[in-house]
Structure 1
């Protein structure tokens, strides 16, 4: 299907062929008829994307510092790959559209059916694309009598409506709208529908005239010498009761103009992306209220609302995002709002690049509402596209391993795929991600033959020898099991599973398949660690191990700490440390005691673990998120049997014995956590018919230890295994 993408590295905006999305259980698959370009927001995005790296560095010194810190911590090569993986990204544009339902997720089949007309919202979902997959709470039915052209304004309309709600205006009040773009024009219409008198201000005379057509009682240009006198006369000499700033500008002029137009104790509402250099005295002297309107209503930026479809109770939150969308379309149906008068251009999706040249001013002329039109295209629903001709077909079992990759986030693109690309006997055949644009871009960058949005396409592909699974954690076990069932070897990023039942099912499937299953416990392949392990290989007594991790924090909204999708950081990352200690002593964990550090069990991003191993060895893991990032991330100290060793962030290892110290690595040593070696071992095992380099039974034991650690944190007692 065709989709409009902006390329972060070059800043170019292009129409690209990408695989269509799949239907999610709590969402709809929609064939777009129209989508709306928001001139203010999307112009700023396109212009920001077109800024060169030097200008970006000047504007965001904090990002430069992050890059320098990462280079010092992880090495230049790893930093270059990480930065490149973030720059080589195509951003889907658009967030407001309308069309016809093609497919209904299983959780919505009582509410929608194929053929329903719907309007959709949400960046990353309601994109400029022939087909979009949109979650439940960002979709509404189009009322009878409302055209799909008008319905495509639903997001912008909901933004304007939320701004009016935040202003909390009353019948008969005098209101000023500063900025008469799409949001400003719809704000004018909404205020009139609410029984207010409206004065519009803009830098362009044609926008002021259009506002009058839309119902504004008066208006003028920003540079009108009589502006203040006209607003004073309009408001009966009192000043405006409410001022809604809907301008899209980095300038603070609108917020500095507002107090001179407002009445004493009036309200100023910020709706647009506007500079916020607020003149304190001017606001203080009139005791003005400054209110910020957050997008299109409660639920915005809440992943549980927007992605998981969990609504707020109406008795507590009357007007959510979705209910604002419904209210806007109902007002259109009643003839109280006329978004159609704001349309200046209708452009076929194939010519979308021309539309953006209009928005950025490369093509001269006035514009306001630009609609992209979509033809009926049955082929647009295909979930795979060919990116390059595949290599000559090879029978299964020959030296070249044909690989499919399921999931391609930042870690896969910056660490795993660059390592695999260097292996001459691996054919990168296919990649699948939930986002069509991500799949297409990853396929182009790394040379995959085809890209897909449905991971089942790869599972069913008979021309694959192996699958690498790097999805979000909740899919690990089920995807790996499905691949093993079809006779494919599997490299599975940690964790193996989030629940005991799916872990056991994965083990049962692996046992019956006879295929290689390797879990991504890379640290046991790290060169510095292997020196340490060899150093203690001849020991005759238990050892003590202390593992400190300066983990850094993650945002509470991150999927990593979501109990359903990520499972938390103990299951998702501390498993690495447990595996390394168990591998070092070559013994199973017999008991674990875990305690959160100054936080609830639910966050689990700072925790202390005490481990006892069946050979009598003891291990402690301090996994803490509260440290400074300039400190190296990982340090392992080992003592016992007359020996001591210190492994410092997989750069250096110090080995102490018989009063002497051997140091391997140096201050400038490159960090190597074993990723390349573990991947090489995986493909060698497939080609040579050997067992997995990481025993799945050992990996499963480590996974069960993480489950026990969570149980220990909840109970406050040690847990035996």
Structure 2
């Protein structure tokens, strides 16, 4: 068994449905968990459901930041590329759910000392604790469940961790008097946690049903409105209700706070208030960010790196452990908060009915399913030879693959994409839905061992490029590998060893598409012989702080991109590179100057710097005696002061021509003269890494 059911949001189709997708494959720092129960958090998840069903205009109103990026792409890259990007984003389904409990089925290498097969674990995190039959969960987002805690209670662990983190943000202690505004599921759990900590909690909630539940769990004072609460009487006020626009929650909370009290925003609250009310009492306002320290930190969540106990006492996992221990001792009991229980097969209908005021927690029950088939590492026989039809497997189905490569691949009559692979399986499933007779898988091994696949296209994160390329070579596949070829010396050695042990001829191409662009071809036609001076000005916009390229394991953005620009100069110069130097202006951010020297006396300079201004990303200036040329951001090419090529709308950086060349080489067995070959690509990356390390 390799497929499962998962609840997904299909934004492009404006629906929520149970869909078939591959069972995810755990990485080194992950575990694979078969779900027993998941929990529907009505506030967060019904909001997400409503967003999924919104029209395109409503989505634009909700996310003006994405609209700005779309307009920027339209200006720079043109209508076709922008439409492809938007469609790729809308066509990618998104999972629902973030709190569940289940049993461990498989364990990544780095997680083996922390978990055992069959162990019950509570799991957390959007994208990790989904409403799905199986989940791939990072080791720091999973906690063993004590025998005394039943599955129905353990499913609440994530939300209790959120409530505990909220109380820690408010620093509420024994004897403190606190008010909780909003008695939804989180508000009720905040009240329980406050009671367990010795604080005295009052509930402010207009709904009678929810006030009654609060009384059932031991809250003594339940008020219908904030005006009913006594002014200046609470050490802290926790806002657990959503509020946007012109609301008065902050002002109301400030009124009932004592002098120098604290307001803690737990719900989705737009922070707005009157300065005088806050100033007179010197009120502190704090924001709760999910379940505790570690959330949104890739090193913690994805790489399993824990924070030292002496410096960060309460991380996500420690909050989860505390919640489980409190449930074990009976000091936290979620049973009164469960208003319904449904089977997993009915979950889509549950969301279709929409939220109800008399519902808090809904438990989702999963039937026992057969265990997934274990992934066994095998290699197909080396057999890559010229073929008439290309049977391709895509490993990596992210934004670039979906919007940059796929539109060109599907136009190739001799290219048949038979499989798509992503680790979580969801983006692979989304891409497979666009294609005919294409299967979605979650492990590259399925593609490597498939004898019907003769070509592999690799567009994964950078640290996996060399390993996947080596596996594809061992399996005798033709290879398209996105840059960079490698990010460290170990990767280089791995590829060289594999080349030496793989005698079968294969077509190996790195996605250095700029050398295939029409403007590059025109430059090669007009460049004079003899020494030339290349000055390549590259200006890149800063990436978000949490972007995966910032993680140390990925080699950095500069190492990931610089080969693009070096390769273009090499293809234009048509001379042997004798030396590559790198001068780091700011190594941490990647700002650098690269110098290339060629056997014919030519010199190349690349300034790769970050910018905050709206300017051309790429400007290439070429000078020689009696000659000059300038290529401006793939929109305009001038030679000796005269415009010889112009593309007013969009850019053509050569992706289509590069894919055509790759497909033709596989079909005929004859490599294009522009294709450097595997040894040249490995040697170039080796020179780049040597230069970067000095």
TM over 0.5: yes
Distance 1:465 1:189 in 2: 59
SS of residue matched to 1:170: coil
Distance 1:669 1:320 in 2: 49
Structure 1 residues 64 and 643, CA, compared in 2 at 3 Å: closer, same or farther?
A: same
SS of residue matched to 2:646: coil
Determine if contact 2:232/2:256 at 8 Å carries over to the other structure.
no
**Could you list the per-position Cα deviations for residues 482-514 of structure 1 after superposition, in whole angstroms to 9, with x for gaps in the alignment?**
111111111111111112232233244335232
Distance 1:19 1:264 in 2: 56
Alignment partner, residue 590 of structure 1: 578
Alignment partner, residue 34 of structure 1: 37
Determine if contact 1:2/1:349 at 8 Å carries over to the other structure.
no
- 1:602 and 2:588 equivalent? yes
- 1:351 and 2:346 equivalent? yes
Distance 1:324 1:476 in 2: 36
- 1:571 and 2:571 equivalent? no
**Could you list the per-position Cα deviations for residues 120-173 of structure 1 after superposition, in whole angstroms to 9, with x for gaps in the alignment?**
001111111100111111110111210111101111110111111111123222
Of 569, 574, 578, the residue aligned with 1:581 is 569
Distance 2:159 2:405 in 1: 40
Alignment of 1:445-524 (within 5 A): 445-510=434-499, 512-524=503-515
Of 352, 359, 364, the residue aligned with 1:367 is 359
Alignment of 1:114-193 (within 5 A): 114-193=117-196
Unmatched tracts of structure 2, length 5 or more = 377-383
The Cα of 1:664 is off from its aligned counterpart by: 2.5
Determine if contact 2:593/2:606 at 8 Å carries over to the other structure.
yes
Determine if contact 1:177/1:201 at 8 Å carries over to the other structure.
yes
The Cα of 1:587 is off from its aligned counterpart by: 2.3
Structure 1 residues 238 and 683, CA, compared in 2 at 3 Å: closer, same or farther?
A: closer
Determine if contact 2:238/2:266 at 8 Å carries over to the other structure.
yes
Distance 2:77 2:621 in 1: 20
Structure 1 residues 326 and 258, CA, compared in 2 at 3 Å: closer, same or farther?
A: same
Structure 1 residues 188 and 501, CA, compared in 2 at 3 Å: closer, same or farther?
A: closer
Distance 2:83 2:156 in 1: 41
Determine if contact 1:528/1:664 at 8 Å carries over to the other structure.
no
Distance 2:374 2:89 in 1: 27
The Cα of 1:238 is off from its aligned counterpart by: 5.0
Structure 1 residues 460 and 318, CA, compared in 2 at 3 Å: closer, same or farther?
A: same
Structure 1 residues 51 and 669, CA, compared in 2 at 3 Å: closer, same or farther?
A: closer
> Which deviates the most, 297-306 or 492-501?
492-501
Determine if contact 1:179/1:202 at 8 Å carries over to the other structure.
yes
Alignment partner, residue 305 of structure 2: 310
SS of residue matched to 2:552: coil
Distance 2:670 2:178 in 1: 76
Distance 2:248 2:297 in 1: 31
- 1:690 and 2:670 equivalent? yes
Alignment partner, residue 244 of structure 1: 238
Unmatched tracts of structure 1, length 5 or more = 385-394, 713-721
Alignment partner, residue 209 of structure 1: 212
The Cα of 1:570 is off from its aligned counterpart by: 2.4
SS of residue matched to 1:376: coil
Determine if contact 1:253/1:275 at 8 Å carries over to the other structure.
no
The Cα of 1:28 is off from its aligned counterpart by: 1.2
**Could you list the per-position Cα deviations for residues 284-309 of structure 1 after superposition, in whole angstroms to 9, with x for gaps in the alignment?**
11222212222111111111011111
Distance 2:256 2:352 in 1: 36
The Cα of 1:381 is off from its aligned counterpart by: 5.9
SS of residue matched to 1:248: coil
Determine if contact 2:180/2:240 at 8 Å carries over to the other structure.
yes
Determine if contact 1:521/1:694 at 8 Å carries over to the other structure.
no
The Cα of 1:383 is off from its aligned counterpart by: 8.1
Determine if contact 1:185/1:211 at 8 Å carries over to the other structure.
yes
Structure 1 residues 238 and 523, CA, compared in 2 at 3 Å: closer, same or farther?
A: closer
> Which deviates the most, 346-355 or 692-701?
692-701
- 1:548 and 2:537 equivalent? yes
> Which deviates the most, 153-162 or 46-55?
46-55
- 1:325 and 2:333 equivalent? no
The Cα of 1:59 is off from its aligned counterpart by: 4.3
Determine if contact 1:256/1:278 at 8 Å carries over to the other structure.
yes
| TM-score, with length taken from structure 1 | 0.91
The Cα of 1:382 is off from its aligned counterpart by: 8.1
Alignment partner, residue 522 of structure 2: 531
Distance 2:160 2:183 in 1: 13
The Cα of 1:60 is off from its aligned counterpart by: 4.1
- 1:624 and 2:624 equivalent? no
Distance 1:352 1:253 in 2: 35
Determine if contact 2:375/2:445 at 8 Å carries over to the other structure.
no
| TM-score, with length taken from structure 2 | 0.94
Alignment partner, residue 23 of structure 2: 20
**Could you list the per-position Cα deviations for residues 239-268 of structure 1 after superposition, in whole angstroms to 9, with x for gaps in the alignment?**
112111111343533223211211222221
The Cα of 1:590 is off from its aligned counterpart by: 2.4
Aligned-residue Cα RMSD (Å) equals 2.0
Determine if contact 1:93/1:128 at 8 Å carries over to the other structure.
yes
Alignment partner, residue 391 of structure 1: none
Distance 2:173 2:357 in 1: 38
Determine if contact 2:234/2:258 at 8 Å carries over to the other structure.
yes
